[in-house]
Amino acid sequence: MRPVPGRDMGQTGAMADVTGRALSLLAMLQTGRSFSGEELAERLGVSPRTLRRDVDRLRGYGYPVATRPGPGGHYRLTAGTAMPPLMLGDDEAIAVLLGLAALAATGSAAEGSLDDAATRAYGKVEQYLPKRLRHRAARLRASLETEAPPAPSTGAADLGTLAEAIGQRRAVAFDYERKDGAVSRRRVEPHRQVHRHLRWYLLGWDTGRGDWRLYRVDRIGGLTMTNDVFAPRPLPAATAVDYLDQGINRGRERVVLTVEAPAAAVADAFRYEDVELHPLGERRTRATLMLDTWEWLLTGLAFLDAEVTVEEPPAFRAALAAFGVRLSGER
């Protein structure tokens, strides 16, 4: 019996509609949000009954879709025992690849390091791109240059172990190498991980020293998570980043400038410094920096074609004024 073209085409079209709806439904659920049945049905342009069938179809494919019935009910994709295929939009796929490429450019790509893992993950994501994106991603990678300032490689496994210990409030033990090369065994209650200036830090309570300490994760070796559970402690600053900055800025001078220029121009001039900007108008900005000496201001000021007033400290203002006199040749 020869097939009936009209019937076959109709069945093919129906299957395409079902598959397309399932993919659209999956893409929405993978955002992590909870959706009401009415919202999903409206977005997909189907009836509530058809939506329930599509949800059951996803469950049959292995996607754990949870349902809460009744008023305030919703559909939500939950964590499963296996990782199902991930649906990414074109812009999301490009963003993932760019993030992995930038991360892969840091460090020395040592085996087991975070940058090495990013390189391997980039290759895995790239090979599953659809044809329409594969060539664009290849051109993007070929056209991309990333600055790779010297940065130590950090073990991806160590970051994962520390995250587990922080989440479970379990103490960790590790060997720590100081700047002078000396190594000592530490026992620490971990509280936060901080990424700052291409370095990873651990903020924790050192039980042996009875005080808060910051540790460079790339200097940690022999990391183990113990069975000792600890109670959370109030952080020594508003955030772990604030505490790290306090240590970095210890011994530095607070410098306040008023610049007759937009905040974007000031940010660009001081792009290599940690600077806080407060717009005082469309073309006026207050900048606050922490610096060792007044000389660190010179490069940024040289790129600002604007009037600058050094509000504080007076010593920096006097030093810059004297430097200006020397440049002018006046006596």
59 shares its domain with 129: no
Nearest CA among 12, 21, 23, 73 for reference residue 45: 21
Domain assignment of residue 96, given as a range: 90-143
Residue 23 domain flag = yes
CA 175-180-186 angle, 5° bins: 20
Residue 51 domain flag = yes
Among candidate residues 186, 215, 240, the one where a domain is terminated:
240
128 shares its domain with 161: no
Q: What is the pLDDT of residues 57-106, one digit of tens each?
A: 888 777 888 888 777 778 888 765 444 556 667 788 888 888 888 888 77
290 shares its domain with 234: no
Mean pLDDT over all residues of the chain?
83
Q: What is the pLDDT of residues 177-193, one digit of tens each?
A: 988 889 999 999 999 99
With cut-offs at 50, 70 and 90, classify the pLDDT of residue 6.
very low
Residue 271 domain flag = yes
Q: Give the pLDDT of residue 108.
A: 64
**Over 60: is that where the pLDDT of 10 sits?**
no
**Over 70: is that where the pLDDT of 286 sits?**
yes
71 shares its domain with 117: no
d(CA 89, CA 9): 29
CATH number at residue 286: 3.30.70
Q: Where does 112-153 show beta strands of DSSP type E?
A: none
Higher-confidence residue of 203 and 148: namely: 203
Higher-confidence residue of 271 and 166: namely: 166
Q: What is the mean pLDDT of residues 233-243?
A: 90
Backbone torsion region of residue 329, taken as left when φ is above 0, otherwise alpha when ψ lies between -120 and 50, otherwise beta: left
Q: What is the pLDDT of residues 144-174, one digit of tens each?
A: 777 666 677 788 889 999 999 999 999 999 9
Residue 97 domain flag = yes
Total domains present in the chain:
4
161 shares its domain with 233: yes
Q: Give the pLDDT of residue 8.
A: 42
Q: Annotate 117-137 with b (16+ C-beta within 10 A) or e (fewer).
A: bbbebbeebbeebeeebeeeb
Q: Give the pLDDT of residue 12.
A: 44
29 in Cβ contact with 84 (< 8 Å) = no
274 shares its domain with 315: yes
Which residues partner with 121 through β-bridges? none
**Over 70: is that where the pLDDT of 320 sits?**
yes
96 shares its domain with 135: yes
**Over 60: is that where the pLDDT of 3 sits?**
no
200 shares its domain with 235: yes
**What's the pTM?**
0.58
Q: Which two tokens stand for residue 250?
A: 């210890």
Which segment of 7-11, 54-58, 235-239, 268-272 scores lowest on mean pLDDT? 7-11
Residue 20 domain flag = yes
Q: What is the pLDDT of residues 246-264, one digit of tens each?
A: 887 777 889 999 999 999 9
For the beta sheet containing 308-312, the strands, ordered from the edge strand earlier in sequence to the opposite edge, are 275-281, 284-291, 253-259, 308-312
Residue 148 domain flag = no
CATH number at residue 9: 1.10.10.10
Q: Give the pLDDT of residue 327.
A: 85
Residue 248 domain flag = no
Among candidate residues 240, 268, 295, the one where a domain is terminated:
240
Q: Give the pLDDT of residue 87.
A: 64
With cut-offs at 50, 70 and 90, classify the pLDDT of residue 194.
very high
Q: Which residue has the tokens 């494919």?
A: 61
Name the amino acid, one letter, at 292.
Answer: D
207 shares its domain with 279: no
Q: What is the mean pLDDT of residues 286-302?
A: 89
Cα dihedral: 26, 28, 33, 35 (round 10): -90
Nearest CA among 331, 330, 273 for reference residue 301: 273
**Over 70: is that where the pLDDT of 123 sits?**
yes
CATH number at residue 187: 2.30.30
275 in Cβ contact with 266 (< 8 Å) = yes
58 shares its domain with 124: no
**Over 70: is that where the pLDDT of 7 sits?**
no
Residue 247 domain flag = no
186 shares its domain with 119: no
Higher-confidence residue of 238 and 129: namely: 238
